[in-house]
Chain A
């Protein structure tokens, strides 16, 4: 058994500790063999790149807070991270992204067809890891975890479809509420809500109070995603790991863009909407400079930062209720520390 990280450690160190444990578990689960060059090596690429470890931290800490050993949830945490990698591979292809975690995206490295196949394989592998864990957890709890997992994956796919649909159909008449609903599905379910729920279910062997946890997870995940969007505009590529302004180049309707469209003078608003609706090739560096300048001048970046802090306030308020039935609430302190971290981070 592995000791839990000290809650007093800095959030970055805490996350690194959880990330290491999840990475070791993932490494143990990665398949080997032939065709190595065309399947197993591309499949292992993203899981081996250093992510933030947020999902694993939430899953393991929620398990411990509900009475389990963190190691009980390691397989589930690994499965969630593998599914995350699967989504990232396909997401990068859909968005035409060039950088991921400081390195060229997988489809740039190995080509589109092999990257699509590796993404598919990662999704299958994540399910296989969970299925294998069913024997240890028992049929009843194991199936419950599988159901939680697949439900979260569906939410993610639905959210991704909505975002891609907005872009394909040139939808720009959006509100902060519609954006929040999008990221609830696209990000929150598999980034925060499912890891918390699954960890709590394993720790309590099926008896945890999930509704309050979901509420807290929604707030934490939304604050995380909005901050991620801001960092995509303002972060340095070295620390951030993705292509700076990549979201603008891909025409994503982030909270900042939605704010800009609602407060800009009509000529600016129309030009921004046209740029977002147009083909990606029209979003040249010059036009992105212009768009980024508008976002700054109209206060859209400051708006998103403040909005994220408000959502984080909601997370802080929801935290006590979320862990009210935890049998070892002191083990949830790690999670409480992440509330401030998700909005103040620089990567």
Chain B
């Protein structure tokens, strides 16, 4: 085995070589286990983070939120067993719970994907936002059409589904490993009561995607 002085001292050597050299740095060798753990964790952070937008549950969720999250998931699972229609309804319910849990008085992040939040608007005005649809598969997906259910406030007031428009209305096809930005526009109908309205955006042929949608309607004086 070579003496350490015989070794190549080039500054171009990778940074990890010295740390792994058993002769030059026995202490570093003893830390190989740490190196393995850190290298693996860095890889996971780099390649897996954000891969499952729908499914990733945030860390650090408060205990009560975690329990609520689990309850919703169980409810959701049971409903999905009953059929797709129910599942969509329960998606909406889960989103609603997620939004409600983020309201003042419920500190801490809520479970579920980040909602599409439209700027506050007064009746007669239009609010817009953009969300992205990603095709992570190796094949093109046709007929990618976003749609959503009527928006509801916690008092049961409703904004009709046709108040919401998507641009483009359909993406056909969405290329393999491609993304497309879709603008969502909500025209608040005259006479709509002030408050926060929520719904969920679903996208045809992208079954794993659902996005809570939130629109705040302000009184005209507040705008």
Interface residues of A (CB under 8 A from B): 67, 138-141, 143-144, 147, 150-151, 154, 175-177, 180-181, 184, 204-212, 214-215, 218-219, 222, 259, 262-263, 265-266, 297-299, 302-303, 306-311, 313-314, 317-318, 321, 324-325, 327
Partner-contacting stretch, out of B15-23, B118-126, B154-162, B178-186: B15-23
**CB atoms of B81 and A205 under 8 A apart:** yes
**CB atoms of A310 and B80 under 8 A apart:** no
Interface size on B, residues (CB 8 A): 53
Main secondary structure of the interface of B (DSSP, over half): helix
Interchain nearest-CB distance for A260 vs B (Å): 10
Using Cβ atoms and an 8 Å threshold, which residues of chain B touch A138? Answer: 80, 83-84
**CB atoms of B77 and A150 under 8 A apart:** no
Give the number of residue pairs across the A-B interface with Cβ within 8 Å.
155
**CB atoms of A180 and B207 under 8 A apart:** no
Interchain nearest-CB distance for A261 vs B (Å): 10
| Given A311-B37, A325-B57, A211 and B52 contact (CB-CB distance below 8 Å) | yes
**CB atoms of B33 and A306 under 8 A apart:** yes
Using Cβ atoms and an 8 Å threshold, which residues of chain B touch A177? Answer: 39, 42-43
Main secondary structure of the interface of A (DSSP, over half): helix
Q: How far is the CA of A262 from the CA of B32 in the complex (A)?
A: 14
Contact with B59, one of A140, A222, A321 (Cβ below 8 angstroms): A321
**CB atoms of B70 and A184 under 8 A apart:** no
Interchain nearest-CB distance for B34 vs A (Å): 6
Considering the complex, give the chain A residue whose CB is closest to the CB of B24.
A263
**CB atoms of A147 and B52 under 8 A apart:** no
Contact with B40, one of A175, A211, A259, A310 (Cβ below 8 angstroms): A310
Interchain nearest-CB distance for A331 vs B (Å): 15
Using Cβ atoms and an 8 Å threshold, which residues of chain B touch A222? Answer: 40
Q: How far is the CA of A262 from the CA of B51 in the complex (A)?
A: 33
**CB atoms of B55 and A303 under 8 A apart:** no
Cβ proximity bits B64-77 to A, threshold 8 Å, 1 near / 0 not? 00100110011011
Cβ proximity bits B19-48 to A, threshold 8 Å, 1 near / 0 not? 011110000010011111111111110011
**Segment 133-191 of B: residues with Cβ below 8 Å from A:** 136-138
**In the complex, B220 has a CB within 8 A of chain A:** no
New contact pairs (18) apart from A177-B39, A209-B55, A313-B36, CB-CB < 8 Å: A138-B84, A140-B84, A140-B207, A141-B80, A143-B207, A205-B80, A207-B77, A211-B48, A211-B55, A214-B51, A299-B29, A302-B29, A303-B29, A307-B36, A310-B35, A310-B36, A310-B38, A314-B37
27 contacts between A and B (CB under 8 A): A140-B80, A151-B136, A177-B39, A177-B43, A180-B39, A180-B40, A205-B77, A206-B76, A207-B76, A209-B55, A211-B48, A211-B56, A214-B48, A218-B40, A218-B44, A262-B17, A298-B1, A303-B22, A309-B33, A310-B34, A310-B35, A310-B37, A310-B38, A311-B36, A324-B66, A325-B57, A325-B73
Considering the complex, give the chain A residue whose CB is closest to the CB of B77.
A205
Using Cβ atoms and an 8 Å threshold, which residues of chain B touch A311? Answer: 36-37, 39-40
Contact with B47, one of A147, A181, A310 (Cβ below 8 angstroms): A181
Interchain nearest-CB distance for A295 vs B (Å): 12
Q: How far is the CA of A207 from the CA of B8 in the complex (A)?
A: 54
Q: How far is the CA of A206 from the CA of B74 in the complex (A)?
A: 10
**CB atoms of A180 and B43 under 8 A apart:** yes
Contact with B14, one of A175, A218, A325 (Cβ below 8 angstroms): A175
Interchain nearest-CB distance for B137 vs A (Å): 6
Using Cβ atoms and an 8 Å threshold, which residues of chain B touch A210? Answer: 52, 55-56
**CB atoms of A151 and B137 under 8 A apart:** yes
| Given A140-B87, A212-B57, A314-B41, A265 and B81 contact (CB-CB distance below 8 Å) | no
| Given A177-B43, A181-B47, A308 and B36 contact (CB-CB distance below 8 Å) | yes
| Given A151-B137, A309-B33, A314-B40, A263 and B21 contact (CB-CB distance below 8 Å) | yes
**CB atoms of B57 and A263 under 8 A apart:** no
**CB atoms of A262 and B14 under 8 A apart:** yes
Using Cβ atoms and an 8 Å threshold, which residues of chain A touch B138? Answer: 150, 154
**CB atoms of A327 and B74 under 8 A apart:** yes
Q: How far is the CA of A222 from the CA of B6 in the complex (A)?
A: 34
Considering the complex, give the chain B residue whose CB is closest to the CB of A209.
B57
Considering the complex, give the chain B residue whose CB is closest to the CB of A143.
B207
**In the complex, B2 has a CB within 8 A of chain A:** yes
Q: How far is the CA of A232 from the CA of B7 in the complex (A)?
A: 30
| Given A206-B77, A298-B1, A327-B70, A144 and B43 contact (CB-CB distance below 8 Å) | no
**CB atoms of B73 and A310 under 8 A apart:** no
Considering the complex, give the chain A residue whose CB is closest to the CB of B48.
A214
